[in-house]
Chain A
Amino acid sequence: MSEKESQMIPETGRRMRLAHAYIPWQHFKNSYPPAEALRRGTLFPELYMPYRPGRRGYY
């Protein structure tokens, strides 16, 4: 990754600065059907990150 690229948040073109927190921007791709969304706790497959016991903090 070049120095210039490392200063940008991918896909948003936002400039990243030191001492600031950033979250990648979500783009809508697809969704679960209603009942499955409720069961999983999210509408978005890319954000479904279940707890694996023994792996706290990794999601």
Chain B
Amino acid sequence: MWEYVKFLEFPADVTRKDPDLAALIVTQFGGPDGELSASLRYLSQMYTMPIPEAKATLNNIGTEELAHFEIIGTLVYKLVSGVPADVIKQTRFAPHYAKWGRANFPEDSSGNPFMSAFFASHEDPIASITEDLAAEQKARAVYEYLLDMTDDPAIIDTLAFLRQREIIHFQRFGEILNLLYDFQEKHPDKYPGF
């Protein structure tokens, strides 16, 4: 089960309102390489993993990604809260405002709603963990694209934190891949499909 703890993983802040940037950063809230996609990918894949290290790693990283979903939600919220509609009207956030006002909605930077088709969940653990390695690299790249588009020091700190987490997760999934190879060699009879 999950329990909410009443603080953020990272002290996410903005130094000024910026609805244009909110409309871009939202892609990590509900886009293909976003945090919701990452979280649901890992929390879907964990059930059929053949080794305990993989179950635990997917569970913990999937949980951490939910905390990242909250961090991105915080950035988007802070970037647009209190901004008058006639200001928003001049920005890339206007199409979002027309649908949802200033509420957060999981969508990409073009306004496409979140879909589970962004990710996969295979019984074959090598296929899933290799997908997860790719997912961490894609998310790292997106954080770099976003870092290229802001000069707000508070947002840079937060995006740099999230980008660094992708690198750590990549390392852990890589270690899981090694452990899966070991398991395949030692226990081919217990491998999924047998």
Contacts and interface: CB of A to CB of B under 8 A. Distances in A.
Interface of A: 9, 12, 14, 17, 20-26, 38-42, 44, 47-51, 53, 56-57, 59
Interface in B139-187: 140-141, 143-144, 147-148, 157, 160-165, 167-168, 170-171, 173-175, 177-178, 181-182
Which of under 10, 10 to 19, 20 to 34, or 35 or more describes the interface residues of B? 20 to 34
Chain A CB within 10 A, most for which of B162, B168, B170: B168
A23 B175 contact: yes
Contacts of B144: 51, 56
B130 interface: yes
Contacts of A20: 181
B14 interface: no
Contact of B178 (A14, A40, A56, A57): A14
**For chain B, what secondary structure do more than half of its interface residues adopt (helix, strand, loop), or is it mixed?**
helix
A40 B130 CA distance: 26
A14 B171 CA distance: 16
Contact of B164 (A12, A14, A25, A48): A48
A21 B133 contact: yes
